[in-house]
């Protein structure tokens, strides 16, 4: 690494615990929220606050870290559902519960291969706990601190993944506002950087924006990474994230943060007044085109910065090596066959498999993630009908493809989302028991060992409840089914449901 090492990240502009939650609803926890005087609006959904204590479901194996808001621990499911990370935040340390709730909601709506997945959200009178995906490789800052230098071929795959995640967030009209080395986790441990998987965390400063407008005005972020227009109090848009990603790229290739200082104020003033300089010896190994890209991304004039889509189209990203080159490919024929088989399943089976797909570990999704990223040519984290046809080289009946596409589009987003794709690609393979148990455990809100069809649909949102009602299932199946009859599905019934084969045409 060059003589100047990456400095410790300056404190954020305002405190924010990193919280997030899975798809679901808030209705089950309204009594406690009302007791706290913090009841969310009735229309809120996609987040499931759980009455259960996290300790009912998870056994803590050891502490990973701690901070002003609480601690982070590695935990294992008591029901054999695999390992996860538990993040505990003391409510007395949270300034405004609404900020916490907003962060949970926004993160819960993200479904992307390069954004950390959240499993459950638990809320008690004194603390809130998240269970989330475990990334074993630590954060990108730690990884770079262990290196003397990182060259372009190593940085390209990592940066491509980062920009795919940012492109996806922006396509969902979401701006992150705190993209920095510390908020990118590496999925694998003891794997070369160019073969690793990057995932975004911490949506504490995330916000909705209206495309084509500069309506954001909150001053927030981390000194050294946040765009100058944010610090100046000007109205801004999603291109503040592009500036932050440019700084991240400079850190990766140059080995240090370009806006250094002894205090947060000094760092902020240099960000506002000092243009980026990549002409020194620390960047002699960087190509002229890449240096130009960094200068454009870190322009003090946000109107001169490229969009995330434009960055993905640059040679620097397009020429990056495949980070999963050692992972086998799914053939187009296999993909189409799995999609067709999935579309023949009952809706309840589809929804149940979706929950299992949410809990698959990295080893189980690697092949499917590679196929998803290959088909998602524009990098927006969604597969359109045109991408599906081109990516699979399908030249059959267009009408049948359109019907299949509508069936796959479980949440009505107009495109196939990541977990929807994973669900379809599970095909006829034997589902991992750890993922099945984790899915059942997450749905069993009452810890009764029994779940109902409505539980399965409700956790995916109100539109899925309507689809369940319209699915034409027999009454006992809609109520619960399985050997328990109308009382619900026990775990063995749930596994039998997951193993249902598609009806023949």
For the annotated catalytic residues, the residue numbers are 178
169 vs 11, 191, 328, 364, 469, CA distance in Å?
24, 27, 28, 25, 32
The interaxial angle of helices 433-443 and 491-498, nearest 10 deg, is: 120
Q: Is the torsion defined by CA of 448, 452, 454, 457 positive or negative?
A: positive
DSSP state of 386: H
Rounded CA-CA distance 345/352 in Å is 11
> Is 491 within 8 Å of 485 (Cβ atoms)?
no
Question: What letters, b where the CB count within 10 A reaches 16 and e where it falls short, cover 273-286?
Answer: eeebebeeebbeeb
Rounded Cα distance between 267 and 256, Å, is 13
Give pairs for 54-58: CB < 8 Å, separation 24+.
Answer: 54/86, 54/88, 54/120, 54/122, 54/129, 54/131, 56/447, 57/120, 57/131, 57/441, 58/84, 58/86, 58/131
Token digits of residue 290: 């890449």
CA 395, 396, 397: angle at the middle one, nearest 5? 130
Give CA separation, 319 vs 74, 153, 164, 322, in Å: 37, 9, 15, 9
What spatial distance separates the first Cα and last Cα of the chain, rounded to whole Å? 61
CA trace torsion 418, 421, 426, 431 (10° rounding): 30
Cα–Cα distance between 295 and 286 in angstroms, integer? 13
If you ran DSSP here, which 8-state letter would residue 425 be given?
Answer: H
- Roughly what angle, to the nearest 10 degrees, separates helices 362-375 and 385-392? 100
Q: Count CB-CB contacts under 10 A for residue 463.
A: 12
Instruction: Kindly report the backbone phi and psi dihedral angles of residue 220, in degrees, each rounded to the nearest multiple of 5, phi listed first.
Output: -160, 170
Using the structure block, give the residue that is written with the tokens 């927030």: 220
Residue in the structure block whose two tokens are 């007791």: 35
Question: Which stretches does DSSP call E strand in 399-480?
Answer: none
Was 344 annotated as part of a binding site? no
Residues flagged as binding site = 96
Residues flagged as binding site for ATP = 96
């Amino acid at each position: 690494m060059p003589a100047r090492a990456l400095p410790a990240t300056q404190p954020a502009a305002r405190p924010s615990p990193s919280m997030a939650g899975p798809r679901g609803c808030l209705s089950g926890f309204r009594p406690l929220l009302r007791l706290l005087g913090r009841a969310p609006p009735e229309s809120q959904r996609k987040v499931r606050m759980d009455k259960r204590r996290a300790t009912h479901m998870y056994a803590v194996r050891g502490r990973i870290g701690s901070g002003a808001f609480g601690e982070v621990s590695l935990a294992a499911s008591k029901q054999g559902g695999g390992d996860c990370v538990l993040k505990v935040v003391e409510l007395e340390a949270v300034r405004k519960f609404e900020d916490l709730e907003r962060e949970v909601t926004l993160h819960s709506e993200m479904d992307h291969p390069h954004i950390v997945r959240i499993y459950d959200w638990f809320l008690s009178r004194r603390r809130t706990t998240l269970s989330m995906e475990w990334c074993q490789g630590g954060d990108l800052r730690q990884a770079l601190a262990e290196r003397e230098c990182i060259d372009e071929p190593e940085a390209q795959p990592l940066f491509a993944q980062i920009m795919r995640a940012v492109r996806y967030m922006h396509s969902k009209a979401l701006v992150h506002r705190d993209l920095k080395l510390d908020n990118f986790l590496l999925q694998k441990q003891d794997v070369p950087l160019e073969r690793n998987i990057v995932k975004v965390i911490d949506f504490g400063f995330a916000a909705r924006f209206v495309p084509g407008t500069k309506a954001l005005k909150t001053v927030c972020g981390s000194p050294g990474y946040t765009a100058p227009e944010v610090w100046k109090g000007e109205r801004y848009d999603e291109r503040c994230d592009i500036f932050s990603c440019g700084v991240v790229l400079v850190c990766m290739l140059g080995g240090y943060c370009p806006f250094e200082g002894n205090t947060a104020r000094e760092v902020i003033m240099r960000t506002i007044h000092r243009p980026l300089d990549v002409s020194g010896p620390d960047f002699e190994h960087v190509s002229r085109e890449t240096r130009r890209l960094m200068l454009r991304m870190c322009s003090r004039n946000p109107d001169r910065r490229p969009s995330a889509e434009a960055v993905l189209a640059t040679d620097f990203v397009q020429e990056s090596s495949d980070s999963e080159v050692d992972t086998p490919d799914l053939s187009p024929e296999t993909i189409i066959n799995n999609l067709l088989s999935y579309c023949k399943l009952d809706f309840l089976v589809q929804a149940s498999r979706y929950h299992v797909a949410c809990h698959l570990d990295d080893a189980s999704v690697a092949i499917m993630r590679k196929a998803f990223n290959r088909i998602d040519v524009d990098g927006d984290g969604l597969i359109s009908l045109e991408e599906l046809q081109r990516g699979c080289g399908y030249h059959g009946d267009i009408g049948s493809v359109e019907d299949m596409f509508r069936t796959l589009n479980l949440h009505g987003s107009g495109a196939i989302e990541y977990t929807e794709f994973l669900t379809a690609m599970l095909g006829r393979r034997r589902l991992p028991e750890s993922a099945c148990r984790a899915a059942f455990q997450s749905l069993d809100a009452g810890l009764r060992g029994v779940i109902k069809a409505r539980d399965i649909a409700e956790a995916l949102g109100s539109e899925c409840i309507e689809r369940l009602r319209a699915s034409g299932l027999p009454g006992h199946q809609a109520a619960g089914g399985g050997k328990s009859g109308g009382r619900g599905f026990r775990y063995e019934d749930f596994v039998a449901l997951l193993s249902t084969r598609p009806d023949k045409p």
